[in-house]
């Protein structure tokens, strides 16, 4: 599986913003649910104005429960979710 070019480009932008000290963590509301989200933003300038570009939000709860990592034994697959009660 391959990470799309737009995601690689956005990640490089995020790394540059971090290296320059131009990151912010903003409390926002989810546009769909209205729930609070803590959003990682790159900070830029447009004259005297600040521009905040959102890149993603922090996972709610345990991030290990939110994502399935790539499967090291199957380059096209992901590690299957643990059955309930089988978490390490």
In a domain, 19, yes or no: yes
What is the domain extent for residue 19?
A: 5-59
Mean pLDDT to the nearest integer, 56-85: 83
Domain count along the chain: 1
26 strand-pairing partners: 39
CA distance 66 to 62: 7
The pLDDT tens digits of the residues spanning 5-63 come to 999 999 999 999 999 999 999 999 999 999 999 999 999 999 999 999 999 999 988 88
The answer to whether residue 12 is domain-embedded is yes
The reply to whether 15 falls in a domain is yes
pLDDT above 80 (res 84) = no
Domain assignment present for 49: yes
């Amino acid at each position: 599986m391959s990470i799309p070019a737009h995601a690689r480009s956005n990640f490089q932008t995020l790394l540059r913003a971090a290296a320059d000290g131009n990151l912010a963590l903003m409390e926002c509301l989810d546009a769909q649910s209205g729930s609070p989200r803590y959003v990682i933003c790159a900070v830029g300038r447009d004259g005297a104005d600040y521009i905040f570009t959102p890149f993603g939000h922090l996972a709610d709860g345990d991030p290990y429960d939110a994502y399935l990592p790539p499967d090291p034994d199957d380059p096209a697959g992901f590690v299957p979710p643990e059955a309930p009660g089988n978490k390490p």
